[in-house]
Amino acid sequence: IPPIKGLDGKGKEKSFPPDPDKPFVGLLFKIQSDKHEELGFVRIYSGTLKPSSRILSTRLNKKENITRLMKIQADRKLLIESASAGDIVGVIGLKDSVTGDTLCDPKEPALLEQITFPETVISTRIEPESSADKDKLANTLAMLQREDPTFRARVSADTGEVLISGMGELHLEVICEKIKQDYHVKIRTGKPRVSYRETLKGPGRATGQCHRQIAAGTLFAEVEIAMEPIADDGGSPFEFFNRLAGEPSIPFEHVATIEDQLREECRGSGMYGFPLSQIRATLLSAQYRDGESNEQAYRLAVAHAVQQILAQAGTNILEPVMKLEVRTPEEYLGDVTSDMAARRAAIENVSMRGQLQVITSAVPLREMFGYSTSLRSLTQGRAVYTMEPLRYAVAPADVAQQLM
């Protein structure tokens, strides 16, 4: 195969050839957890990997230890002494790296193209049946999040309850069964609910400031931020651009702090309490004073700027839209399409596949609860469907009004 392309330690494009004698570069593409240890699946693109070696996790800029190396064959795990370019192996010893991270030789930093995971679209409440299981549940959820990047767990700031989020009803059902059966934690769950988002109605621009007197002296920071909505094209829900690149007016580490705080502000909540999504943020300018400007000051200044932009531009509520494919005998086609229209589905295509009619549409997730039961009733159990996240779209006025 040809060399894979990525970035070197200085951010410049570089090719990594499939040569066992070159520095090690690999991609961690899966984590499998059990009670005793975590097994990472790594594809090696360049170089050679051996047990008891120390490697660099590029995203974290942190070194990890590889204690054991395995060749995986179904449920058999065979210990091996080395693996080289082209191999897919299991590794034991990773502590902080997660799915999608680049692993490499510490002397030759590298960064491969990162995996983009879709936003979660549905959430539900979860709690342990007894207080004795509280810590056990927290540890289990943390382990499941490392194993599955499309699964999220968080504690609601308003109610203190634990909310888990995923790609659909079935996804959360599987997660809950895994918690009960594999980790032996007794839990109660609430009804699934749609995970809404917010985005800006239009572009906004503001200058955020922090000028405070504290016991240790003065805190100062000033940043000018521009934010605008972007279309959901399947890419990242947040984009950051730094207009100061090449002519930095502040130390580089503070630019990283500004970007991190902007991401945190978007993960927080907009005007209606939902996380912000489909946002492009641009750092236009920043002021720095030696001895007065630090990480805390820039975080406060960014938060101030974002608050001004939200008030200035306003926000729209976004609802998750799913790609729905229904396969049904032709005699039920009319009933199925009528039901889909009632669920606000936009039918994109109807075609024949063998003896079945295949209907492809885009439908709001809000309208799809209980659809499997409804479809069975309409078609005497002869139709089947598949559904996957497609995009986030602006919710209709009546739906937005109910949520407000």
Section 267-283 average pLDDT? 87
Q: Each residue of 232-255: pLDDT tens digit?
A: 777 778 888 888 766 667 887 888
- Which residue pairs from 242-251 have beta carbons closer than 8 angstroms and sit at least 24 positions apart in sequence? 242/282, 242/283, 243/282, 243/283, 243/284, 243/285, 244/283, 244/285, 244/286, 249/285, 249/286, 249/287, 249/288, 250/286, 250/287, 250/288, 250/293, 251/288
Tell me the CA distances in angstroms from 225 to 160, 206, 266, 302, 340, one per residue in order: 32, 6, 14, 8, 43
* Residue 401, pLDDT score: 83
* Residue 12, pLDDT score: 84
* Residue 246, pLDDT score: 62
Section 188-213 average pLDDT? 90
The amino acid that residue 267 corresponds to is R
Lowest mean pLDDT among 135-139, 152-156, 161-165, 339-343: 152-156
Q: Each residue of 55-82: pLDDT tens digit?
A: 999 888 899 999 999 999 888 889 999 9
Q: Sign of torsion, CA 105 106 107 113? A: positive
- Residue 51, pLDDT > 60, answer yes
- Residue 205, pLDDT > 80, answer yes
Residue 343's closest CA among 358, 357, 322? 322
The amino acid that residue 392 corresponds to is Y
Can you read off the two tokens belonging to residue 309? 């932009």
Q: Each residue of 143-185: pLDDT tens digit?
A: 888 888 889 998 876 566 888 998 888 899 999 999 999 888 9
Residue 92's closest CA among 41, 55, 141? 41
pTM beyond 0.95: the answer is no
Section 297-304 average pLDDT? 93
Q: Could you count the other beta carbons within 10 Å of the beta carbon of residue 296?
A: 14
CA–CA dist 31, 99 (Å, integer): 6
